[in-house]
Structure 1
Amino acid sequence: MRYILLVVLLCSTADQLLAQVTRIDTVNYPNPTIPKRKQYNFNTDYWYTVAVRAYAYEQFPQLLDQPSGQSASLGSAFNGILFKINDNQVAYRLQAAHFNNEITFDNECDGCAEVTGKFQNTAIKVGAEKSVNYSRFQPYFGGDLGFMMQTLNTKGYDANVFAEDNKNALLFSPFIGAKFYVVSRVAIGIEANFNIAYTYQKINAYADNTFTGEPEQTKRHRWEYFFSPVAAVTLQYNFGLINQ
């Protein structure tokens, strides 16, 4: 009788255990959520920037007897360099540009409406810029102080005007601009500036196109103001991580 009761007890216990077992293939699980893309931290914090001025369309100080506000506006490409030292607040910059080309412009002097000559302009500036934010697209503003040397020589170009025009200028150039980081180290920048210049001009006018004899000289000191709607389109490379 004891054995019969033991068998009945074991069967009853096994039946209860089987009732609590759930088959794995009958359970429904929610679909796993997989992120569409990994979050990426775009780094723009670098100590140094070197840049090439790829294009510019700018005004220059007045030439010969041009009236105030009618200085030449000229375009150029790949004729300037820029170097910057950056920190978390301000970037300090040094730049240089050189224009060297034949130009034709309205002189507006007595007896001559148009002049052609060899024009050269070299500008060196130091300054600072402040970015509005530190994202991939960064508007900025700032100012430069600089020195400019400019010459115009009409020898061999013009049949009516035989002159050398030499001008030196001290500059203050406030500017605004923006830059966009194509990738973490490479950016494209564009800026415009307004130039306030104190200039010294010396014109040597000759009696004929041989540029011989004693020239008639004109000397001027004056304030000039000129605008560069595209002071520079730059290709920039950044290096030296600030937070590394």
Structure 2
Amino acid sequence: MLSQMRYILLAVLWCVGADQLSAQVVKIDTVDYPPLVIPKEKTYHFNTDYWYTIAVRAYAYEQFPQLLNQPSGQPYHSSYFNGLLFKVNDNQISYRLQAAHFNNNIEFDNECEGCVPKVPGKFRNTAVKVGAEKNINYSRFQPYFGADVGFMIQKLSTKGFDNTPVFAEDNKNALLFSPFVGIKLYIVPRVAVSAEANFNVAYTYQKINTYSNSSFTGAPLQTKRYRWEYFFAPLAAVTLQYSFAMMNK
């Protein structure tokens, strides 16, 4: 009888233990997991991810290559709305093409024997450049830097100016290398204003026709020369920019 009670007790304990173990086990297909959340890509209030940018050069304050026998330290000249810029943007690097044209009457110092007269003249300068710029960040305020290479054509004529001390024509061509730094601020999405400064290294070819009989008649005295020149633009371009064609995410 005792042995039977022992077997019955063991059977009861085994049933109770099995029930407790089954309560601890949870099938994998019955577990509820929270939904998987994938973080959204970070976006900015001012989206700058556009393929193309066009810009107008609204203002510039710059030097140009030397004119005639102008002493070192060329003067600075201001200009307004005389240039265009087109950029193809690729993430933080933009490839750019730009052109600018200066056309104005100027007056400058010209070295001569025993005097430094003021020479007035009609001055024209056209520059075309290609280059690349790199943005530091993608924020609303973007510092950037880069470099351009290009070609410049420059012409000066004193013809038509009364009482000019020099009757001459100055033609100059130049190959340019122009490193630059700048800042860009987005006013509203797609629209930005930027300002940049550059330093120009130029290899120039200059041809000067000087007329000795106080008029533009007769055979001129010609001067030709090649030289390296360096000039600076503290405000090479203040531009208004518009970007379009949003990049696909």
What does 1:190-205 correspond to in 2, within 5 Å? 190-205=195-210
1:224 equivalent among 223, 229, 232: 229
Mapped to 2, the partners of 1:217 and 1:89 lie a distance apart of 49
User: Is the aligned partner of 1:129 residue 2:133?
Assistant: yes
Deviates further, 141-150 or 153-162: 153-162
Mapped to 2, the partners of 1:201 and 1:226 lie a distance apart of 16
User: What runs of 5+ residues in structure 1 fail to find an aligned partner?
Assistant: 1-38
2:120/2:164 contact within 8 Å kept: no
How many residues in Structure 1 have an aligned counterpart in Structure 2?
Answer: 205
RMSD: 1.3
Query: CA shift at 1:209, angstroms?
Result: 4.0
| Residue 195 to residue 40, structure 1, CA distance change in 2 (3 Å) | closer
Partner SS state of residue 109, structure 1: coil
Instruction: Identify the residue that residue 72 of structure 1 maps to in structure 2.
Output: 75
* Misfit runs of 4+, over 6 Å: none
Instruction: Identify the residue that residue 22 of structure 2 maps to in structure 1.
Output: none
Q: Percent identity?
A: 70
Mapped to 1, the partners of 2:123 and 2:106 lie a distance apart of 6
What does 1:16-165 correspond to in 2, within 5 Å? 41-67=45-71, 69-110=72-113, 111-157=115-161, 158-165=163-170
| Residue 225 to residue 40, structure 1, CA distance change in 2 (3 Å) | closer
Partner SS state of residue 81, structure 2: coil
1:108/1:114 contact within 8 Å kept: no
1:188 corresponds to which letter in structure 2? Answer: V
TM-score normalised to the size of structure 1?
0.81
TM-score normalised to the size of structure 2?
0.80
User: What runs of 5+ residues in structure 2 fail to find an aligned partner?
Assistant: 1-42
Query: CA shift at 1:40, angstroms?
Result: 6.6
